[in-house]
Homo-oligomer: A and B are copies of this chain.
Amino acid sequence: MTGNLSETRVDATTDMPEEPTQALRFGRARTARSSALQEDYVELIADLMAAHGEARATDIAKRMGVTHPTALKSITRLKREGLVTSRPYRGIFLTEAGQELAQRVRARHRLMVEFLLALGVPAEAAEADAEGMEHYASEATLAAFGRFLGRLRRDI
Protein backbone atom coordinates (compact mmCIF):
# COMPACT_ATOMS: atom_id res chain seq x y z
CA MET A 1 0.00 0.00 0.00
CA THR A 2 2.36 2.67 1.21
CA GLY A 3 5.60 0.87 0.51
CA ASN A 4 8.23 -0.13 2.97
CA LEU A 5 8.31 2.33 5.83
CA SER A 6 9.98 -0.02 8.22
CA GLU A 7 13.52 0.83 7.19
CA THR A 8 13.08 4.51 7.91
CA ARG A 9 10.88 4.51 10.96
CA VAL A 10 12.53 5.76 14.15
CA ASP A 11 11.62 5.77 17.77
CA ALA A 12 10.24 9.13 18.84
CA THR A 13 12.27 9.48 22.02
CA THR A 14 15.62 8.09 20.96
CA ASP A 15 15.82 8.72 17.22
CA MET A 16 17.02 5.13 16.92
CA PRO A 17 15.34 2.45 14.83
CA GLU A 18 13.24 0.25 17.05
CA GLU A 19 13.40 -3.10 15.24
CA PRO A 20 16.83 -4.41 16.19
CA THR A 21 16.56 -3.71 19.90
CA GLN A 22 13.08 -5.19 20.08
CA ALA A 23 14.21 -8.24 18.14
CA LEU A 24 17.02 -8.67 20.65
CA ARG A 25 14.58 -8.45 23.54
CA PHE A 26 12.34 -11.12 22.01
CA GLY A 27 15.40 -13.23 21.32
CA ARG A 28 16.44 -13.06 24.95
CA ALA A 29 12.90 -13.92 26.04
CA ARG A 30 13.03 -16.98 23.76
CA THR A 31 16.31 -18.09 25.28
CA ALA A 32 14.95 -17.64 28.79
CA ARG A 33 11.85 -19.61 27.84
CA SER A 34 13.94 -22.51 26.66
CA SER A 35 15.96 -22.71 29.89
CA ALA A 36 12.92 -22.17 32.13
CA LEU A 37 11.90 -25.82 32.09
CA GLN A 38 15.39 -27.04 32.84
CA GLU A 39 15.63 -24.65 35.75
CA ASP A 40 12.32 -25.93 37.10
CA TYR A 41 13.49 -29.53 36.90
CA VAL A 42 16.80 -28.82 38.57
CA GLU A 43 15.12 -26.88 41.35
CA LEU A 44 12.57 -29.65 41.87
CA ILE A 45 15.26 -32.34 41.95
CA ALA A 46 17.13 -30.37 44.58
CA ASP A 47 13.92 -30.08 46.62
CA LEU A 48 13.26 -33.81 46.42
CA MET A 49 16.83 -34.63 47.39
CA ALA A 50 16.55 -32.33 50.40
CA ALA A 51 13.19 -33.77 51.44
CA HIS A 52 13.62 -37.50 50.69
CA GLY A 53 17.34 -37.95 50.24
CA GLU A 54 16.74 -39.01 46.65
CA ALA A 55 15.00 -37.87 43.49
CA ARG A 56 12.97 -40.49 41.66
CA ALA A 57 11.58 -40.13 38.17
CA THR A 58 7.97 -40.80 39.16
CA ASP A 59 8.05 -38.24 41.93
CA ILE A 60 9.52 -35.69 39.57
CA ALA A 61 6.81 -36.44 37.04
CA LYS A 62 4.07 -36.19 39.68
CA ARG A 63 5.37 -32.88 40.99
CA MET A 64 5.73 -31.45 37.51
CA GLY A 65 2.21 -32.58 36.64
CA VAL A 66 3.44 -34.53 33.67
CA THR A 67 3.57 -38.19 32.60
CA HIS A 68 6.69 -40.09 33.43
CA PRO A 69 7.96 -40.53 29.86
CA THR A 70 7.84 -36.77 29.46
CA ALA A 71 9.81 -36.31 32.66
CA LEU A 72 12.32 -38.95 31.55
CA LYS A 73 12.84 -37.18 28.27
CA SER A 74 13.50 -33.89 30.02
CA ILE A 75 15.89 -35.64 32.39
CA THR A 76 17.72 -37.08 29.39
CA ARG A 77 18.18 -33.55 28.15
CA LEU A 78 19.45 -32.45 31.57
CA LYS A 79 21.98 -35.27 31.43
CA ARG A 80 23.10 -34.14 28.02
CA GLU A 81 23.56 -30.62 29.40
CA GLY A 82 25.68 -31.99 32.24
CA LEU A 83 23.31 -30.91 35.02
CA VAL A 84 22.33 -34.37 36.16
CA THR A 85 23.52 -37.97 36.21
CA SER A 86 21.70 -41.28 36.57
CA ARG A 87 22.25 -44.99 36.11
CA PRO A 88 19.49 -47.24 34.75
CA TYR A 89 16.77 -47.99 37.30
CA ARG A 90 18.54 -45.81 39.84
CA GLY A 91 17.70 -42.33 41.06
CA ILE A 92 18.58 -38.96 39.58
CA PHE A 93 21.52 -36.97 40.94
CA LEU A 94 22.66 -33.40 40.40
CA THR A 95 26.17 -32.75 39.16
CA GLU A 96 28.28 -29.94 40.56
CA ALA A 97 26.92 -27.67 37.86
CA GLY A 98 23.40 -28.85 38.60
CA GLN A 99 23.75 -28.08 42.29
CA GLU A 100 25.10 -24.63 41.59
CA LEU A 101 22.23 -23.94 39.21
CA ALA A 102 19.72 -25.27 41.74
CA GLN A 103 21.09 -22.99 44.41
CA ARG A 104 20.89 -19.91 42.22
CA VAL A 105 17.39 -20.81 41.05
CA ARG A 106 16.15 -21.43 44.57
CA ALA A 107 17.57 -18.14 45.84
CA ARG A 108 15.90 -16.33 42.96
CA HIS A 109 12.62 -18.13 43.57
CA ARG A 110 12.62 -17.29 47.27
CA LEU A 111 13.41 -13.65 46.57
CA MET A 112 10.63 -13.46 44.01
CA VAL A 113 8.03 -14.99 46.31
CA GLU A 114 9.09 -12.88 49.26
CA PHE A 115 8.91 -9.77 47.15
CA LEU A 116 5.41 -10.52 45.88
CA LEU A 117 4.22 -11.34 49.40
CA ALA A 118 5.68 -8.06 50.66
CA LEU A 119 3.70 -6.26 47.97
CA GLY A 120 0.50 -7.84 49.26
CA VAL A 121 0.00 -10.60 46.71
CA PRO A 122 -1.84 -13.57 48.27
CA ALA A 123 0.38 -16.56 49.00
CA GLU A 124 -0.94 -18.99 46.39
CA ALA A 125 -0.81 -16.37 43.61
CA ALA A 126 2.67 -15.32 44.70
CA GLU A 127 3.90 -18.90 44.44
CA ALA A 128 2.24 -19.48 41.09
CA ASP A 129 3.35 -16.20 39.52
CA ALA A 130 6.88 -16.56 40.82
CA GLU A 131 7.06 -19.95 39.15
CA GLY A 132 6.61 -18.24 35.81
CA MET A 133 8.20 -14.84 36.30
CA GLU A 134 11.41 -15.88 38.04
CA HIS A 135 12.92 -17.15 34.80
CA TYR A 136 12.74 -13.74 33.16
CA ALA A 137 14.00 -11.44 35.89
CA SER A 138 17.45 -10.01 35.12
CA GLU A 139 20.07 -9.33 37.76
CA ALA A 140 19.08 -5.68 37.68
CA THR A 141 15.48 -6.51 38.50
CA LEU A 142 16.40 -8.99 41.20
CA ALA A 143 18.68 -6.39 42.75
CA ALA A 144 15.82 -3.89 42.73
CA PHE A 145 13.56 -6.44 44.43
CA GLY A 146 16.25 -7.00 47.04
CA ARG A 147 16.63 -3.27 47.68
CA PHE A 148 12.88 -2.96 48.09
CA LEU A 149 12.79 -5.73 50.68
CA GLY A 150 15.75 -4.17 52.44
CA ARG A 151 14.04 -0.78 52.66
CA LEU A 152 10.88 -2.42 53.96
CA ARG A 153 12.74 -4.22 56.73
CA ARG A 154 14.67 -1.13 57.70
CA ASP A 155 11.60 1.13 57.85
CA ILE A 156 9.68 -1.63 59.59
A119–B148 alpha-carbon span in the complex (Å): 7
A140 within 8 A of B: yes
Query: Quick one: which of A88-129 are within 8 Å of B by CB?
Result: 91, 116, 119-122, 124-129
A81 within 8 A of B: no
Contacting residues, chain B, for A124 (C-beta < 8 A)? 21
CB distance from A148 to the nearest CB of B (A): 6
Contacting residues, chain B, for A126 (C-beta < 8 A)? 141
Give the contacting residue for A136; candidates B26, B129, B144; CB below 8 A: B129
A77 within 8 A of B: no
Give the contacting residue for A63; candidates B19, B62, B140; CB below 8 A: B19
Count identical subunits in the complex.
2
A26–B33 alpha-carbon span in the complex (Å): 14
Given A2-B54, A128-B138, decide whether A121 and B133 contact each other with a Cβ distance below 8 A: no
A86 within 8 A of B: no
A150 within 8 A of B: no
A141–B127 alpha-carbon span in the complex (Å): 11
Chain B residue with Cβ nearest A22: B63
Contact yes or no, A63 B141, CB < 8 A: no
Give the contacting residue for A125; candidates B59, B135, B140, B147; CB below 8 A: B140
